[in-house]
């Protein structure tokens, strides 16, 4: 009797524990539970402590309410230009309605995978390979729009769809690599040519600037040299002007300068100027006429009778510009003024020359056997 009571009490305790265990449910945060009473939807349990009726209420597996990431395997898609490419996609979704996610669709993850594959074929099928490779944002936006509108009645919200990788066939990959290599080489050649062009332009610009600066420097140097020569000529002319040289001294200097004109191997012909006769005549008269004291030529200079230089004239122009005009007649030689014809001029014999006689170029000369060399 006592043993039976003990066994009955033990069974009752176990039954109470089981009832308590099945009656009390704790729902974690970001989870949701669906309760069915006698096979029919009863309620949705939110996070917290809940009590159920044992053997009447049944709690379905908890549903995660957080945003989930599902990566789908590569899908074979045919592009508009009949190339088969493999596309890997990633879908970001979140369960917004646990009841709809439980009763509206059997497996919402598998449904999202199949819907993504179908939508991807429709979108990529209207694009060629190049557009598919460069239009990922467009494909992602179209996929998200289709998935979000379709999965909304399942209690799921698709927040983002990304294409991880687009894998073209190996032959296309090889062609693309060759194309990219050729494109990179072309860009390298273009950049090299552009650099060479810029360098040549800069070098030409530098040479131009250098030539301009050099020309400016030479021009300034020439101007300075011309100014220096002008000042030197002015000083020499002023010195000569202050010294007051006589006509006879100038004639003597003129005769001294004539031999220098004939110097040089390139001078084959010596042209006698028209003023030579007048210069020689003046020198001859000066040397042949003694002065009053009989000591030498008249007007010869000495230390005693050297004329005193007058005061320096003021800085005035040496020649009045209005008084000097060079005409065409001045540039033409006047052969009529020549007192001696070069073709008829002969050198007199030594015996007929009188050292004491004055030199006169207009005197007749004795005939000679032959013409003298000029």
Each residue's pLDDT tens digit, 118-144: 888 888 888 888 888 888 888 888 888
Q: Which of 222, 244, 266 is the last residue of a domain?
A: 244
User: Measured between alpha carbons, how far is residue 175 from residues 81, 145, 169, 172 in Å?
Assistant: 15, 34, 10, 5
The answer to whether residues 144 and 217 belong to one domain is no
Domain boundary pick from 116, 133, 168: 168
Strands 31-37 and 40-45: antiparallel
The pLDDT of residue 345 is above 60:
no
Q: What is the total count of domains within the chain?
A: 3
Rounded to an integer, the average pLDDT of 227-250 is 80
Please identify, among 18, 45, 63, the residue that sits at the C-terminal boundary of a domain.
Answer: 63
Token output for 217: 């420097």
Place of tokens 């596309």: 87
In a domain, 355, yes or no: no
Greater pLDDT, 318 or 69: 69
Percent of the chain with pLDDT over 90: 20
What would the pLDDT profile of 287-301 be if each residue is shown by its tens digit?
555 554 444 444 444
Q: How confident is the model at residue 309 (pLDDT cuts 50, 70, 90)?
A: very low
The per-residue pLDDT for range 39-64, each reduced to its tens digit, is: 899 999 999 988 888 888 888 999 99
- The predicted model gives 309-317 an average pLDDT of 46
- Asked if the structure places residue 36 within a domain, the reply is yes
Residues 109 and 159 in one domain: yes
pTM here is 0.46
Answer positive or negative: Cα dihedral of 96, 102, 104, 110. positive
**Structural domain span for residue 226:** 185-244
In a domain? residue 103: yes
Residue 262 lies inside a defined structural domain of this protein: no
Strand partners, 49: 26
In a domain, 222, yes or no: yes
């Amino acid at each position: 009797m006592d043993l039976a009571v003990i066994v009955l009490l033990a069974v009752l305790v176990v039954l109470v524990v089981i009832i308590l265990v099945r009656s009390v449910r704790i729902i974690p945060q970001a989870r949701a539970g669906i309760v069915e009473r006698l096979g029919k939807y009863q309620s949705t349990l939110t996070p917290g402590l809940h009590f159920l009726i044992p053997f009447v209420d049944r709690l379905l597996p908890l549903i995660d309410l957080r945003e989930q990431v599902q990566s789908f395997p590569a899908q074979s898609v045919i592009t508009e230009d009949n190339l088969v490419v493999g596309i890997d996609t990633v879908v970001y979704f979140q369960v917004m309605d646990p009841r709809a996610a439980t009763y509206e669709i059997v497996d919402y993850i598998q449904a999202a995978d199949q819907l993504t594959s179908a939508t991807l074929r429709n979108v990529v099928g209207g694009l060629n390979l190049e557009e598919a490779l460069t239009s990922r944002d467009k494909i992602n936006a179209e996929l998200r729009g289709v998935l979000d509108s379709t999965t909304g009645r399942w209690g799921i919200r698709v927040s983002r769809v990304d294409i991880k990788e687009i894998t073209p066939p190996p032959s296309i990959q090889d062609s693309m690599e060759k194309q990219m290599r050729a494109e990179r080489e072309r860009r390298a050649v273009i950049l090299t040519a552009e650099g060479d062009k810029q360098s040549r332009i800069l070098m030409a610009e530098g040479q131009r600037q250098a030539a301009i600066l050099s020309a400016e420097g030479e021009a300034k140097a020439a101007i300075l040299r011309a100014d220096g020569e002008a000042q030197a000529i002015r000083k020499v002319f002023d010195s000569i002007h202050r010294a007051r040289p006589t006509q006879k001294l100038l004639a003597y200097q003129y005769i001294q300068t004539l031999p220098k004109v004939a110097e040089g191997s390139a001078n084959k012909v010596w042209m006698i100027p028209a003023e030579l006769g007048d210069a020689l005549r003046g020198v001859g008269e000066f040397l042949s006429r003694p002065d009053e004291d009989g000591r030498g030529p008249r007007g010869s200079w000495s230390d005693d009778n050297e004329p005193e230089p007058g005061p320096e004239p003021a800085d005035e122009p040496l020649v009045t510009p209005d008084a000097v005009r060079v005409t065409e007649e001045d540039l033409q030689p006047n052969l009529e003024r020549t007192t001696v014809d070069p073709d008829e001029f002969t050198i007199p014999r030594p015996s007929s020359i009188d050292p004491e006689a004055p030199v006169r170029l207009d005197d007749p000369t004795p005939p000679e056997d032959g013409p003298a060399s000029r």
